[in-house]
Amino acid sequence: MPNNPRNTSIFDFYGRPPIGKALPLSLQHVLAMIAGVITPPIIIAGVVGATPAEKLLLIQIAVLASGICTLFHLYGVWKFGARLPAIFGVGFAYVPTLIAVGGQFGIEGILGAQLVGGITMMVVGYFIQYIRHLFPPVVAGTVVLVIGLSLYDISIRYMAGSGNVNAPNFGEPLNWVVGIVTLLTVLAASQFGRGVVKLSAIIVGILVGYLLSLALGMVSFEAVANARWIAVPEVMPFEMEFHTAAIVSMVVICVINSVQTIGDLSATSVAGMNRELKTKELTGGLLGNGLTTAASAFFGALPTSTFSQNVGIVAMTKVISRSVLAIAGVFMIAAGLSPKFGAIMTTIPYPVLGGATITVFGMITMTGIQLLIKDELSARNMTIVGLALALSLGISSVPSAIEQFPAMLQNVIGGAPIVVAAITAFVLNIALPKKSLSDEAREREEIARADAEAAGANADASDGGDDPGRASRVASATK
């Protein structure tokens, strides 16, 4: 009996295509994710006042953790891991909360809270089949929308030249020129490009902006010259500190990120594999993401999540071969073991990052809107969304409004609008009566009918009873 031929299909999860066919397909996943991986640690390094060496370490370990996390979820260990064609890595969804926590408690406070947040995420994964109904589109969409809206000021500050508004060159026209050229390149590549160019529009924009910055003398290679070629990550490069306010904020965003993970894994299975997401895959994905988030804290890597842009690639191409995505993970691991790679990333000027990431933040906002319109825009749901937006963005815009509150409460809600939005949307969704558009329409009809009956009764009373047959005629007319 002849041996079964090797499965080389790129449209089968267990297919193993030849390297020549798999490599370019893997490359587009790397190009799609790399900007999203390196930008959060760069942002957080600026917030916590990290030294150049610490900034380089944060980037290096973020890249390494993203590669390991991706392979972990592709192949799984026991009950941990999604075992789906999905890319995992350090994600943008945590950035607003990390900025708030890092600004108050430093990188030590972030990592301590992250450890607790990762454990919480595993608890959510274990019980997800019982609590999934508590996070409908109106809650998840509101949170994602606020995440996008709260990130815009970061991009604008970067386009102006620095994350710090007090920087010497902040707001100089030359910075804006570089930032706008980068932004226009991203738009051109995403709207008019084809193939890999279209899928990697952000990288194309960064390359063009970087070359322009080189020509203008805005790039320094001092960090690259001093960086080693190979370095193995250390355990506990930073201390951990545990602050109640930081932990509460991180726990909330980790729970919310679990909702995003549900959406991304569902989109992967439905759009890429033409089937519904299995409970085992969902549970494994959340358990695995919680484990990698908690473990990453011991090495200085930031929290991990699914990458929506890579979900889009899977949905569009239908390429679900585990081998294709595994090659992308191996590349990220190799890059993460080389400080030279991380040092090169630190040479990217702020205006280039700002011009490239503002489109990413805009897409996060639109993703939130897409989630919201999956549900009915009833008066109830619009109340939930509107009040969550008003409270979260309003308090973050006027921090002095809560100066009389206890210090811990100020730390939890003052600097992270995502926390206020999540709590508000979650509580209102439980507390407000469930009413659909049809229910609300029936209520209006009942009110109109009652008004008509009341008007008829008042008119009858004003006649003084002169017409004894009027009451019966009114009753007949309202039936």
pLDDT tens-digit profile of 266-323? 777 877 788 777 888 889 999 999 999 999 999 999 999 887 667 766 776 678 889 9
Same domain, 470 and 333: no
| C-alpha span between 67 and 55 (Å, rounded) | 19
Within 8 A by CB and 6+ apart from 409, the residues are 245, 402
Residue 317 belongs to what H/E stretch? helix 308-317
Domain annotation covers residue 191: no
Same domain, 422 and 449: no
Among all chains, which residue has been given the structure tokens 């454990």? 119
Domain annotation covers residue 187: no
Same domain, 468 and 362: no
Q: What percentage of the chain's residues is helix, strand, coil (to nearest 5)?
A: 75, 0, 25
Could you give the number of structural domains in the chain? 2
Q: Residue 445: what pLDDT?
A: 84
Same domain, 348 and 296: yes
Same domain, 306 and 391: yes
* Cβ-defined contacts of 362-367 (< 8 Å, 24+): 362/148, 363/148, 364/92, 364/93, 364/144, 364/147, 364/148, 364/151, 365/144, 365/145, 365/148, 365/149, 366/148, 367/144, 367/148, 367/308
Range of the domain at 462: 441-478
C-alpha angle 416-45-367 in degrees, rounded to nearest 5: 45
Q: Could you give the percent of the chain with pLDDT greater than 70?
A: 88
Contact 262, 82 (CB under 8 A): no
Q: Residue 1: what pLDDT?
A: 40
Mean pLDDT for 32-43 is 79
Q: Please tell me what DSSP assigns to residue 374.
A: T
Domain annotation covers residue 163: yes
β-pair partners for 305: 89
Same domain, 417 and 446: no
Same domain, 412 and 473: no
Single-letter amino acid, residue 342: G
The pLDDT tens digits of the residues spanning 63-112 come to 899 999 999 999 999 999 999 998 898 877 787 788 888 988 999 999 99
Domain annotation covers residue 182: no
Same domain, 425 and 445: no
Domain annotation covers residue 208: no
Same domain, 374 and 455: no
Same domain, 373 and 469: no
- For the full predicted model, state whether its pTM sits above 0.75: no
| C-alpha span between 114 and 251 (Å, rounded) | 8
Cβ neighbour number for residue 293 with a 10 Å cutoff: 30
Domain annotation covers residue 279: yes
